[in-house]
Structures are given as structure tokens and as C-alpha cells.
Amino acid sequence: MLEKIKQRKAVQLLVFSKSQLIGISDINMMIEATAHQGVFGITIAKDYRGQGIGKKLMEWILKEAQTKLPQLRIITLGVFGNNPRAYQMYKKFGFQEFGRLPEGILHKGNYIDHIYMYKKVNN
Ligand SMILES: CC(C)(COP(=O)(O)OP(=O)(O)OC[C@H]1O[C@@H](n2cnc3c(N)ncnc32)[C@H](O)[C@@H]1OP(=O)(O)O)[C@@H](O)C(=O)NCCC(=O)NCCS
């Protein structure tokens, strides 16, 4: 990851509470014909969710991506159909759904939709 960050092919931010890692978010650039696309990911530790940390972290990683990833034009992400919290947050940040694979995810024994979203980046 450090090598990718050095090469301007990824950004990553970590959130700590004292010395404990409680949040992580990154955007990883794809390759070749899709080298202008970055794939977004985020996770906040269970006990720290719903306190505004995810929103802040997302704001920061998008800013970081704007300044550090020169090839970035489109950010994509995948979200489980049973995750309204993440879905709502992504919509607030301007992500739009562009596809949904019915029953694309097997989660705890149930098949649920896999939702794909994207956002264009202004250069
Ligand atoms: C999704 C996740 C990153 C959001 O981070 P968070 O710190 O919990 O979220 P925040 O407190 O910053 O809230 C951000 C937004 O999420 C939504 N949200 C938060 N709590 C919610 C709830 N209980 N129900 C529905 N939406 C909710 C709201 O849109 C909220 O924005 P608002 O405060 O302006 O209303 C975090 O909950 C998480 O890591 N979940 C598990 C892993 C995961 O789902 N990762 C994403 C995979 S695609």
C-alpha cells in the first residue's frame, strides 16, 4: 500500500482513538483501460459507528484523492443491499447507483443484492 501511495495509485487514511485503530478508508486506482477509475472502501469499528466519524473520514479521503491521484476521474464502490446506512451516506456524497446484481452477495446465509455506485471527480 505504501508503494502504491508513493506512486500516486492509492490514498488511505486511518483513524485512531488513543492507540486503537477504529477506522480506515482508501481509494485504489485500477489499471490499464480502467486506470482513471478508483475503487473506494470504508470501515468504522462497531463501537464507533453513528457518531459522524464515517462522514468526516469520507470527506477527507475524497479531498485527499483530489489532490493526490492525478489520473482519477471516476470513483466506484460496491455496497450490500442490506446496508442502508452506507448507501445513504454515499448518496449524500454525490454517488449514484448504476447497477444492482440481484442476490450477488451471500451474507450470513442470505442472498442479497450487490449495489454498484459511482461518482465523477471534477479535475
Ligand atoms: C457505513 C459506515 C462507514 C458509516 O460510518 P459511521 O461513522 O457509522 O457514519 P456517520 O455517523 O458518519 O453517519 C454518516 C451517514 O450515515 C447514515 N447513517 C448513520 N447512521 C445511520 C442509521 N442508523 N441508519 C441509517 N443511516 C444512518 C446517515 O446518512 C449519516 O449521515 P447524517 O448524519 O448526515 O444523517 C460505518 O457504519 C461502517 O463501517 N459500517 C460497517 C462497514 C460498512 O458498511 N462499510 C461500507 C461497506 S460498503
DSSP states of 17-45 as a string?
Answer: ETTEEEEEEEEEE--GGGTTEEEEEEEE-
* Separation of alpha carbons 38 and 41, rounded Å: 10
Please say if the pLDDT value at position 123 is more than 80. Answer: no
The closest alpha carbon to 40, from 80, 14, 77, 2, belongs to 77
Task: Using a pLDDT cut of 90, give the percent of the chain over it.
Answer: 98
What φ, ψ does residue 34 adopt, rounded to 5°?
-110, 20
**Model pLDDT, residue 35:** 97
Mean pLDDT of 7-32: 97
Mean pLDDT of 16-34: 97
Mean pLDDT of 108-117: 97
Q: Where are the domains of the chain?
A: 2-120
Topology of the domain comprising 2-120: Aminopeptidase (3.40.630)
* Separation of alpha carbons 73 and 69, rounded Å: 9
Q: How far is the CA of 38 from the centre of ligand 1 (A)?
A: 21
Q: How far is the CA of 84 from the centre of ligand 1 (A)?
A: 8
Please say if the pLDDT value at position 108 is more than 90. Answer: yes
Per the listing, cell 459511482 goes with: 118
Among 15, 27, 55, 80, the mutation site with the greatest number of ligand 1 atoms within 8 A of its Cβ is 55
Taking only the tens place, the pLDDT of each residue in 41-69 is 999 999 999 999 999 999 999 999 999 99
- The model carries a pTM of 0.94
